[in-house]
A and B are shown apart, each in its own frame.
Chain A
Amino acid sequence: MSDLFAFNGAEGAGWSQPLPSLGVDESWSTVPEPLRRASPPGWPRASEPELVRHYTWLSRRNFGIDTGFYPLGSCTMKHNPRLNERIVQLPGIDRIHPLQPEHQIQGLLAIFFEMQEMLAICSGMDEVTLQPVAGAQGEFTAMRCIQEYHRSIGQDHRDKVIVPDSAHGTNPASAAMCGYDIIEIPSAADGRIDLAALKEAVGDDTAAMMITNPSTLGVFEPDISRAAEMVHTAGGQMYYDGANFNAILGKTDPGRMGFDAVHYNLHKTFSQPHGGGGPGSGPIGVKSHLAAFLPSPIANRRERVEDDPIGVGDGYWYVWKEVGESSIGKVQQWHGNSAAVVRAWAFYRRYGRELERMSEHAVLNANYLRHRIMNPDSDTAARMHAMPLDGAPAEVVKHEFTLSMSALKDAVGVTGRDVAKRLLDYGVMAPTLYFPMIVPECLMIEPTETESKEVMDRFAADFHTILGEDPEIVTTAPHSTDVRRVDEVWAARNLVLRHPGPE
Chain B
Amino acid sequence: MSVADEPERPGSASRTSSGPGRLLVALYAIFAVAATSRAAVQIVTRFDEAPVAYLLSALAGVVYIVAVVGLTRPSAAGRRVALIACSAELVGVVTVGVLSIVDEGLFPDEAVWSDFGRGYFFLPLVLPVLGLFWLRRSAREPAPATAGSAPGR
Asked whether A and B interact, the reply is: no
B contact set with A: CB distance below 8 Å: none
